[in-house]
């Protein structure tokens, strides 16, 4: 993780859940927090901004789809795992879309 500090970053502003998690991860390792060159609150612009500037960032793997020049820096310590939950009333109507979503989550 210390090597990541040799680079400047583009991140969401402090207070965003992923930014706070990343900052706390560096704090737990007793390392300085990343030096933020650019703060961007719109997640949709981050992949293009990263590509154009060469800065590091912390975004979802889903932004690394086909056609993007971005590559993941794989580190166990900086991999954020999320738990997704679907809550619904038993015996209630569920739309086909809701049923499909539940099916997708069950197969993850």
Q: What is the CA radius of gyration of the chain?
A: 17
Q: What is the pLDDT of residues 20-46, one digit of tens each?
A: 999 999 999 999 999 999 998 887 788
Count of domains observed in the chain? 1
Residue 89 domain-assigned? no
pTM (two decimals): 0.73
Q: Which residues of 13-89 form beta strands (DSSP E)?
A: 35-39
Is 99 a member of any domain?
no
Domain housing 63 = 2-78
Burial of 45 (0-12, 13-18, 19+ CB in 10 A): exposed
* 94 lies in some domain: no
Band of residue 66 on the pLDDT scale cut at 50, 70, 90? low
**pLDDT for 83-97, tens place per residue?**
878 888 889 999 999
For residue 62, what are the CA distances in angstroms to 34, 58, 79, 93?
A: 22, 12, 13, 31
Decide if 84 is inside a domain.
no
């Amino acid at each position: 993780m210390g090597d990541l500090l040799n680079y400047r970053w583009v991140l969401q502003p402090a207070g965003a859940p992923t930014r706070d998690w990343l900052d706390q991860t560096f704090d737990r390792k007793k390392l300085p927090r990343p030096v933020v060159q650019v703060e961007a609150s719109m997640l949709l612009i981050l992949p293009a901004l990263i590509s154009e500037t060469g800065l590091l960032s912390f975004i979802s793997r889903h932004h690394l789809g086909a056609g993007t020049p971005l590559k993941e820096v794989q580190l166990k310590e900086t991999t954020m795992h999320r738990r997704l939950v679907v809550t619904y009333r038993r015996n209630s109507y569920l739309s086909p879309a809701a049923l499909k979503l539940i099916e997708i989550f069950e197969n993850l």
